[in-house]
Amino acid sequence: MSRATSGGTGGGLLVAGTTSDAGKSVVTAGICRWLVRQGVKVAPFKAQNMSLNSFVTQEGAEIGRAQAMQAQAARVEPTALMNPVLLKPGSDRSSQVVLMGKPVGEMSARGYHGGRQEQLLGTVLECLAELRGTYDAVICEGAGSPAEINLRRTDIVNMGIARNARLPVLVVGDIDRGGVFASFFGTVALLSPEDQEFVAGFLVNKFRGDVSLLEPGLDMLESLTGRRTYGVLPFQHGLGIDEEDGLRVSLRGSVRESEVSAPVGEDILRVAVCAIPLMSNFTDVDALAAEPGVVVRFVDRAEELVDADLVVVPGTRGTVRALEWLRERGLADALARRAAQGRPVLGICGGFQILGEHIEDEVESRAGQVEGLGLLPVRVRFAREKTLTRPVGEALGEPVEGYEIHHGVAQVTGGTPFLDGCRVGEVWGTHWHGSLESDGFRRAFLREVAAAAGRRFVPAADTSFGSLREEQLDRLGDLIEEHADTDALWRLIESGAPTGLPFIPPGAPA
């Protein structure tokens, strides 16, 4: 059945959560996939995202990877409009502010919430209005909790945008954590009367067991708040999209608990990813974890590299800091020993820079010239202008594409060319994120790794990372279609929150 809004501004919905990681991202993606399968022209939106996992759009804008995946769920090309503000933490107290896909400077949390955030509200609302003028529906994702009373005055991502754009709000709670009824009630009760008018109801996420046992609680919750529950989504292993903050491999659930399919050849392949500080775009290893017989784990001790067939040094928002961390923990020496023994090491983006001879950084860490690990003939100078590109090329006899997000400019002075970087022995380095998602290239690379490691590992001939992603998004759409009241959801999207919703005291403090 095809659904569409009736002319003018498209419909909308804000998916909020009782906490961070309650399931807002996956619910937003699931609703997008359900809607597009119903013939609705839909787009995702997140006004402000804080994440070190980002993506480059076709127009060269940097946005959160979660919004890029939500756009894929909606079967549309991601754009900067879908995530106008991206915060990339550089420490516990400051972040790089990326506005409309381009970095505009570093800012402390106090400075951002002290005035800068309010100034961005106009830009955020303009982006949302443009999307709503183009699409039948826009499914917005909130951040953290809408009941963060200390930040409400400057909020541009939860109730601030809901009230300005008159969006109904669906609050998602993770029942697997416990306390979901208190979280639902408390979220509403800590909002002002004006904010509460837009909170339409709730969605329970990650429920295990017999739903009939939960129903009395849902009925009591409705009697207490005057708001219904729009669905109970069952717990499913390995269900998610590219993470914003957690250490996860999106196709296999938690990395440390990843399910590994039986290998095609006689051996498995062990991949160790160095869990360096401010690790960014660790989603690069998702494609490796999707391969049957490949075991991926994150490590932070030198002895954990001993039995690894491949060590990956991933991207980071703090290259110099990560380099110091590797040295402090003995991992730098372990990597040097691997290189000397001809055992595979792959550096991606910041990891590639770390493997080089030296780094000149007056931008990110302002540490000046720092000696790298010296495993690749590369010299890196940090530029104030950030490189944001979507390169396409060929390597190991296979077509490959990726995306680049970095301030460091690499001068390669030797070795064998490898994408934009180089290879010396079994040490490889490149700035290209996402290259391992190219199936033919990934298989060719893993064959090289297996040969160097002496493993009788054979890449599966039919593993399609793109197909696996589509299956994952379809599973999210199925979850919404089968376990949510989709007719009621559509009424919310089209008509807004029900009128006459009761006020739940005490409300927000003055």
Q: Which of 407, 431, 433, 483 is catalytic?
A: 433
CA–CA separation, 186 vs 204, rounded Å? 15
Q: Tell me which amino acid residue 458 is.
A: V
- The DSSP result for 98-114, as a single string, is EETTEEEEEEEHHHIII
47, 199 Cβ separation under 8 angstroms: no
211 C-beta neighbours (distance < 10 Å), count = 12
Distance CA 170, CA 193 (A): 16
Contact 301, 345 (CB under 8 A): no
Residues 394 and 76: their CA atoms lie apart, in Å, by: 26
User: Does residue 433 have an active-site annotation?
Assistant: yes
Q: For the chain, what is the largest distance between any 2 Cα atoms, rounded to a whole number of angstroms? A: 71
Query: Is 272 in contact with 344 (CB distance < 8 Å)?
Result: no
Dihedral sign for Cα 490, 493, 498, 503, please: positive
What backbone phi and psi angles, to 5 degrees, belong to 455? Answer: -100, 140
Q: Where are the beta strands (DSSP E) in 123-183?
A: 137-141, 169-174
Please check whether residue 290 is in contact with residue 458, taking contact to mean a CB–CB distance below 8 angstroms: no
Structure tokens at 467: 């197909």
Q: For residue 140, indicate whether it is catalytic.
A: no
CB atoms within 10 A of CB 262: 7
Which residue out of 32, 140, 349, 422 is catalytically annotated?
A: 349
Cα distance between residue 421 and residue 396, in whole Å: 13
Residues that are catalytic: 349, 433
